[in-house]
Chains A and B, each alone.
Chain A
């Protein structure tokens, strides 16, 4: 039998088996239970996908298995939750980060001049070190006397006390502007010093074109303007935001979490991963260590507690809607779908997962960036020899992957308890998803995530119904992975090497 007809036969067999299973479960469970389990499966699948998508993108291009992905998922949830519940912390910290970013972003502008600078060899080695030490000092002094914990606590307090009454009551008074503005200034100086150090003054082996400076000035200038603005409005903005429509605030939280994930990912790639590309094992250990650092940092800022983010108004009113139109109008918490009661927020998570899949698929197949990524998966050296800055593409892809994880985190925050370990289960399932779908395959990650979501949901259903141990549902995903690996070691959509 030739391989083509063998494949068709195998496909028919699997499709037949699938239909039989679906029909069997449907008749056994009844319509209502089947549909509600189906939707929880889709929800879980969507969440798994949000983690797996970034993992598989990063692994496919860079061969980096990011063990901090779950922590970045968690971080996205915290940032989004913090912003949604009480943005004082975010607005209090924004001037610090923006000013620092503006300083660092000046690197490409000052670099050509610093390189051309005549510096003795001794000074060439000493100057960056001196600059780094000064930058560290500036960083420390920027934070001296700034009570970061009490600012972080604002959302914690808001979440644990009654927020329904008056959200403004939870805003704590902050330092007056007259003494505060020095902090962003010091942060800017710190950033600038790091820019000086990293451009290695006097080292003429580097290459830095001068002609495009005008364009490069745009970003730091924008950041500086934002710094000044955010310094001025840091208190009034919190109030204005809390009085804003909850749905809109939720959308803003999502955007913020995604932007944060993107910048955070870019910073991690440039500072921690890039120096280690020659030692892949070290990257693995580094990301593992990073996940602990992130977790400890979060526990330090927000205490090792569990928070429940309240759902945005669109998903919060008690009562069951009978149609989508009624839900959108009333903002009901649940909706009736063919007799089954499905929480409306689940529909949102499913939709978010699908939108993310389609958008990233579009980017991968239809844009130049996607082309570059697919080419880079095979041969990054050749892509570089064609005149494309592969390092920058690596940074971009890592940043995108982390942004996707953060998006998953904020998407899941109103649905899952927000706590420091919330990403761990999803990271494990995300890794299994990536293995099932085929390492580096994006479509595979989606299919794998849906398979796993279904397995978990129906596993839980049967475990409850037949009074089996709930561990069965958890084990089911690993069993599926074993079966896939035994029959198709490269994964469902993986390419044979």
Chain B
């Protein structure tokens, strides 16, 4: 069942190596993202998940290896060229433009004139808060609202692939629910590559996973297989992470 036809892959990252300054951050990372799926990158802090996303979009271009997006080799191309091929990027830490209003943040994301007008209903339906706040400057938004805006910004143009870096980071539980719902809705029209520390959220959203450990991709497969494999999870992601099964068992015993 996990035998995939390569032609169905929207994005194939093939053994890339990335340096930042002199530091060899990614030593050997391969990721496959089938069309229409949500794939999640898992791994401890500092394993190289964010750098993998940045290497794909071209902000930290890989020195070795190959990245194929929609049948086109994109490694070494400039980030704006890659983005214009239909790739959206939501960075970690809510990197919205603080000096720009909500509306300007969204307008700037247009790739064609009228992108925003076309998508505004859809965006404001996903994130009703933003409609209320659209005149406010970005630095007046709360952390959760900034995160919503960061995701919304990537939805303005038509993207084939969204790279989303830690959408749940620092969000209140209720907002995490809202964010998950939004991402799930998005995945119906767009392929998504997610980086997510929150394992519960990741396991509920994603169909596929790739584990990155110390700059290398070490394991990939289907999420439904991973949640059963407690050893693997504990080995690569840390003992503190609890799988759904363990949580259920704890729940049972408490009863």
| Chain A interfacial positions (CB closer than 8 Å to B) | 205-207, 368, 371-372, 374-375, 377-379, 381-391
Contact = CB atoms under 8 A, between A and B. Distances in A.
B109 A382 contact: no
A389 B89 CA distance: 15
Contacts of A390: 80
Contact of B95 (A382, A387, A388): A382
B242 interface: no
B80 A388 contact: yes
B78 A384 contact: yes
Contact of A384 (B59, B95, B97, B105): B59
Interface of B: 57-59, 76-81, 83-84, 89, 91, 95, 97-100, 104-105, 107-109, 111, 153, 157
A73 B97 CA distance: 33
B78 A385 contact: no
Contacts of A384: 59, 78-80, 83
B108 A378 contact: no
Contacts of A207: 76-78, 81
B108 A375 contact: yes
Given A207-B77, A371-B104, A377-B99, A385 B111 contact: no
Given A384-B80, A385-B91, A386-B83, A379 B97 contact: yes
A439 to B, nearest CB: 14
8 contacts: A206-B76, A207-B76, A371-B100, A375-B108, A384-B79, A385-B58, A387-B80, A389-B80
B107 A387 contact: no
Contact of A375 (B58, B77, B80, B97): B97
B108 A385 contact: no
B84 A382 contact: no
Contacts of A381: 59, 79
A205 B67 CA distance: 13
A385 B154 CA distance: 10
Per CB-CB distance, the 3 closest pairs between chain A and chain B, nearest first, are: A387-B83, A375-B97, A207-B77
A7 B185 CA distance: 47
Contacts of B79: 381, 384-385
B76 A205 contact: yes
A374 B99 contact: yes
Nearest to B138: A378
Contacts of A374: 97, 99-100
Nearest to B53: A385
B89 A385 contact: yes
B166 to A, nearest CB: 15
A378 B107 contact: no
A461 B11 CA distance: 71
Contact of A387 (B77, B84, B98, B105): B84
Given A385-B80, A389-B78, 19 more contacts: A207-B78, A207-B81, A368-B107, A371-B108, A375-B100, A375-B105, A378-B97, A378-B98, A378-B99, A379-B95, A382-B91, A384-B78, A384-B80, A385-B59, A385-B79, A385-B91, A386-B108, A386-B109, A391-B78
